[in-house]
Chains A and B, each alone.
Chain A
Amino acid sequence: MEIDLSRPILARNDQLASRNRERLEAAGVFALDVLASPGAGKTTTILATAALLRDRYRIAVIEGDIASKVDAEKVKAHGIPAVQINTGGACHLEADMISRALDALPLADLDLVIVENVGNLVCPTEFDLGQGARIVILSVPEGDDKPLKYPQIFALADAIVLNKYDTMHVFDFDEAAFRDAVRHLNGGAPIFPISAKTGEGVEAWVAWLSERVDSARDGGLQT
Chain B
Amino acid sequence: MHEMGITAEVLSAVNDAAVKAGAVRVNLVRLTIGGLTAIMPDALQFAWEAMTPGTLSEGAVLEVREVGARSRCLECATEWEHDQYDRLCPSCGSFACEVLAGNELRIDDVDVDLPETT
Contacts and interface: CB of A to CB of B under 8 A. Distances in A.
Nearest to A150: B38
Contact of A187 (B9, B95, B111): B95
Contacts of B17: 3, 5
Contact of B5 (A6, A7, A90, A185): A90
B108 interface: yes
A7 B21 contact: no
Nearest to B21: A3
A126 B117 CA distance: 43
B106 to A, nearest CB: 6
Interface size on A, as a range, is 20 to 34
Interface size on B, as a range, is 35 or more
Contact of A92 (B2, B31, B39, B111): B2
B13 A9 contact: yes
Interface in A1-50: 1-13
B50 interface: no
Interface of A: 1-13, 90-92, 94, 122-123, 125-126, 148, 151-153, 155, 181, 183-188
21 contacts: A1-B21, A3-B17, A3-B110, A3-B111, A4-B108, A6-B107, A7-B13, A7-B106, A9-B106, A90-B5, A92-B2, A92-B5, A94-B5, A122-B2, A126-B6, A126-B38, A152-B38, A184-B87, A185-B85, A187-B94, A187-B95
